[in-house]
Chain A
Amino acid sequence: MESLIRTENVKKIYNARRPDEFRALEGVSLQVEKGEVAVLKGPSGSGKTTLLSLIGCMSRPTAGNIFVAGKNVSKLSERFLTRTRQQTFGFIFQQFNLLRDLSVMENILLPLYPQQIKISEMLERGRELLARLDMENKQQMKINQLSGGEQQRVAIARALINDPEIVIADEPTAHLDSKLSIDLLGLLEEINRMGKTIIIATHDPLVYEHPLMTRTLALRDGRLEEES
């Protein structure tokens, strides 16, 4: 059976043929099966964020192929790349990337504005998700009025609003203490139980040594060192 995600010798070079050329990835080949929780571990600068952004259809590789659910996304135009990203992926960013002046509900619904879906349905989905994450009574609060843990939940809710098949989390515990990190892992476990595939990039041992992880991929200097 075809893997959900497969990369073939993927390379990414920034500022190619210029004095500040930077080779972020040097031929990475991997696969992730449906329902897995895969973790990309490695030190800063190893290429984890770059690999996540390529898999997540945020940008295109310099060389190599990337297959998502059997479809080659390496050569798609911006429009189809965006569509694939919208339909298939949900992102939890390192810095949450929430808009501080907006309310919780407005932040969660951000991905749905440019889609052909009614306002009433948007609000319905948002309320459902917030209820599941125990945040229903905070829907009108501004982001800067929330605690770190609450902001984390908002970021997760936004990632799930499109009901994506794959959830990508980039250094999700970077700004969290141990307790909140464990809470986060609990939430990720719940998400996995919903049938979603999860890919996490981290250099936090609390995460990559957690039993939830079904596949571990170690990156260093843009190369895949080991897989387990």
Chain B
Amino acid sequence: MRHLKILEYALSALWRRKYKNLAIVLVYCFTIAVLASILFLTHALKTEATYLLADAPELIVQRLFAGRHDLIPLDYADQIGKIPGVAEVHPRFWGYYYDSLTEANFTLLETSSGHSPLTMLQGDLPSAPGECAIGAGVAKVRKIDIGDDLILIDSSNTGVSLEVTGVFSSRSDLLTNDLVILGREDLIEFFGFSTDLATDLAVRVSNPREVNTIAAKIKRQWPNTRPISRSEIIRTYAAVFNWRSGMMLSVFAAALVAFCILAWDKATGISVEEKREIGILKAVGWETSNILELKFWEGMAISLTSLLLGLLAAYVHVFFLGATLLTPVIKGWSVLFPTFHLTPFIDLYQILVIGFLTVPPYVASTLIPSWKAAITDPETAMRG
């Protein structure tokens, strides 16, 4: 009962300075919402990437020349296919295309026939020359749909017209947003690939546990190649949004500075009015512990409210609104950027860390300055 009454008094005290305290809650809540949004988004993206890329090629073999990625001779495929443990070697043909009309970059990819239908694709994959399937981002930026023509300029500066036979659903944006899928022959002709070269090789291994062994063998036999395993691909995305990278560091630093300013304002001492109030409370019979409990509730009310509202706002922003406010910050110079339909993968540990970093410091910065006044002799209050 006593604790509820002290809470009541604390809330009344906060309400007496309502505009100032509402402003603090607003700023605090906004800071938490931004931080939590970034953490939710990055964690969801990383987890989603880990799930989706679990079916990426087991091993990709690239060729390097002067440290740069170069095209790989097709006869490497034959020889790699002879390594014990290799089930299949599939040459991949793909590349980038800069579309001057929209200033966007597309990724052109070939597909060979014989695939099972894709539910994420409206229409079909190209099955004949002169056909293509495109991602939703390409369709949107070029304003085309199934049945329309996509005109691209090939490596000999000639316009190539491709009939759109399929458009990927926007729910697969995260994978297909900028893709243009062509038949292999069309793609080879488009980029002017030599007949004996491919972009890289996709290697399928009979026993997944032998991937690293086979990769080492390939590297030993062809020192100018670079094998990339599936686990390395997935690990790349686990490291995305690393906190040490410039963008994240800037945002975290800004949030930290904002919070330190807030805490500093509170911690540099309480006002004369507050000191007087504490003195009177002591004079009328409040113990030191009651005063400290009062200050505890004041700090707790503000920080807990801000934390919960901030987390709610972040959740809604990221998982219901597709992180629309963060998109301009994250997209960089990309013209095509996917709409997020993220699965709400949440790391509870992150929520606990946010809570731990926001509530106790604020409560401490409310409690500590009041300490000296709280332990003062009530006699001092009698003297006014």
CB contact between B377 and one of A59, A93, A116, A162 (< 8 Å): that residue: A59
Interface centre among A50, A78, A95 (most CB of B within 10 A): A78
B277 within 8 A of A: yes
The contact string, 1 if C-beta is below 8 Å from chain B, for chain A 100-137, is 01100010001111111111001000000000000000
Which positions 87-106 of chain A face chain B at CB distance < 8 Å?
Answer: 91, 93-95, 97-99, 101-102, 106
A158 contacts partner chain B, Cβ-Cβ < 8 Å: yes
Nearest CB of B to A188, in Å: 18
Q: Decide yes or no whether B98 CB sits under 8 A from chain A.
A: no
Whether B1 pairs with A86 at a CB distance below 8 angstroms is no
Of B283, B286, B288, B384, the contact of A58 (CB 8 Å cutoff): B283
A118 to B6, CA, bound (A): 12
Is A17 close to B, CB under 8 A? Answer: no
Can you list, as one digit per residue, whether each of B265-297 has a CB less than 8 Å from chain A (1) or not (0)? 000000000000101110111111010000000
What size tier do the contact residues of chain B reach? 20 to 34
How distant is the Cα of A33 from the Cα of B330 in the complex, in angstroms? 80
B365-384 CB mask vs A (1 if < 8 Å, else 0) is 00000000000011101111
Contacting residues, chain B, for A53 (C-beta < 8 A):
378-379, 382
Q: How far is the CB of B379 from chain A (nearest CB, A)?
A: 4
CB of A91 within 8 A of CB of B286, answer no
List, in ascending order, chain A residues with CB within 8 A of B290's CB.
113-114
Chain A residues with CB below 8 A from B244, complex form: none
Q: Is B16 in contact with chain A by the CB < 8 A criterion?
A: yes
Minimum CB–CB distance for A87 against chain B, Å: 9
Q: Bound state CA distance, A113 and B7, in angstroms?
A: 10
With a cutoff of 8 Å between Cβ atoms, the chain B residues found around residue A138 in the complex are none
State how many residues of chain A have any CB contact under 8 Å with chain B: 35
Q: Given A58-B283, A97-B283, do A113 and B288 touch, yes or no (CB 8 Å)?
A: no
Cβ A111 vs Cβ B284 within 8 A:
yes
A193 neighbours in B (Cβ, 8 Å)? none
Provided the pairs A59-B379, A97-B381 are in contact, do residues A91 and B287 lie with their beta carbons within 8 angstroms?
no
Q: List 30 A-B contacts (CB under 8 A).
A: A52-B382, A53-B379, A58-B378, A59-B378, A79-B287, A82-B287, A86-B285, A91-B382, A93-B384, A94-B384, A97-B283, A98-B280, A99-B277, A101-B16, A102-B12, A106-B12, A110-B284, A111-B284, A111-B285, A111-B286, A113-B2, A113-B6, A114-B6, A114-B290, A115-B285, A116-B1, A116-B2, A118-B1, A119-B8, A170-B382
Give the interface of B toward A (CB within 8 A): 1-2, 4-6, 8-9, 12, 16, 277, 279-281, 283-288, 290, 377-379, 381-384
The 5 closest A-B pairs by CB, nearest first: A86-B285, A114-B290, A53-B379, A59-B379, A58-B379
Q: A: which residues have CB within 8 A of B?
A: 49-50, 52-53, 58-59, 78-79, 82, 85-86, 91, 93-95, 97-99, 101-102, 106, 110-119, 122, 158, 162, 170
Q: A58-B377, A114-B6 are in contact. List 12 more A-B contacts (CB 8 A).
A: A53-B379, A78-B287, A91-B283, A102-B16, A106-B12, A110-B280, A113-B5, A114-B287, A116-B1, A116-B2, A118-B1, A158-B284
